[in-house]
Amino acid sequence: MMTERRSDFVLKSGYMVKRSQNKKRFTPVNYKTRWFELTRFYLSYYDIGNLEKRRERGRISVKGVRLVEPALLHGEGGDAAAPDVSYQAAGHCTPPAHINLFTIVVSFFVPTIQGYPFQVGYCESDGIYPGTTLPQYTLYLVADSEKERTEWISSIRKVCEEYSPKSFSYHLGLWLGRKWSCCRSLNRRALGCQLATIWPEYNNNPSK
């Protein structure tokens, strides 16, 4: 498994905080620090243990990515469990692995990490909704600085340029079970309330 997942050149890597995707109903929201690696084919994330023993926790095919945009996890109607206080202020540049303060559950808010959130909207496989611009799932990530967030967004967009139709709009906030935190729409599949970044024309016309 180790050889297979590292067979492609890693374009960008680093720690980020990942929000649980809650693909199943009635599962608790939590935030966990993961190690991320971006290649030409996948955005993958792993446990934060020893480099050679890290367990892969998930991956997203870049062919299925529909949007990569900033996100808002705080504010009125936002996520009460979202990271809030910077560990950089305490002199940490990377998560101190010896303490387990990086899981934040809705019922017990532990303010540990500054939030510079963004979102990756995607379809889970190349064969799902191949012609739609709407993402099937959204992965919310939190970088530890504005610079890191900008670099991650730019890097992910770059490897996704030639694949799949892209979204023309997105929701800045979260789906809270009954409504969007940003625009208050009650329809989960409602068109986004923000205009998405314009992708190169050929991305949205794959037949050309």
Mind listing the pLDDT tens digit for each residue in 186-202? 998 898 999 999 876 45
Question: What is the rounded average pLDDT of the residues 88-105?
Answer: 34
Asked whether residue 107 is assigned to any structural domain, the reply reads yes
Report pLDDT digits (tens) over 121-136.
999 865 455 567 788 8
Q: Are 106 and 134 in contact (CB under 8 A)?
A: no
Nearest to 126 by CA among 78, 62, 171, 188: 62
CATH code (residue 60):
2.30.29.30
123 domain residue, yes or no: yes
Q: What percent of the chain has pLDDT over 90?
A: 47
- Number of domains present in the structure of the chain: 1
Tokens of 80: 């009460």
Span 43-90, pLDDT tens digits: 999 998 776 778 899 999 999 999 999 999 876 556 766 765 333 332
Predicted pLDDT of residue 153: 97
Interval 90-119 mean pLDDT: 45
Q: Is residue 200 part of a domain?
A: no
Most confident region among 90-94, 155-159, 160-164 by mean pLDDT = 155-159
> What is the model's pLDDT at position 83?
66
Q: Is the pLDDT of residue 110 over 60?
A: no
Residues 113 and 48 sit within 8 Å (Cβ to Cβ): no
Residue 193 lies in a domain: no
| N residues, the chain | 208
Q: Give residue 80's pLDDT.
A: 63
Residue 20 token pair: 């649980």
Q: Is residue 17 part of a domain?
A: yes
pLDDT recorded at residue 129: 54
Q: Is residue 133 part of a domain?
A: yes
How many CB atoms neighbour CB 177 within 10 A? 9
In a domain, 191, yes or no: no
pLDDT at position 103, please? 33
C-alpha count within 13 angstroms, C-beta hemisphere, residue 191: 8
Backbone angles phi, psi at 76, to 5 degrees: -60, 125
Report the pLDDT value the prediction gives residue 78, as an integer from 0 to 100.
64
Q: Give the domain range for residue 148.
A: 2-165
pLDDT at residue 114, as a whole number: 61
The verdict on residue 206 lying in a domain is no
Closest by CA to 71, choosing from 143, 159, 179, is: 143
- How far is it, in rounded angstroms, from Cα 171 to Cα 3? 38
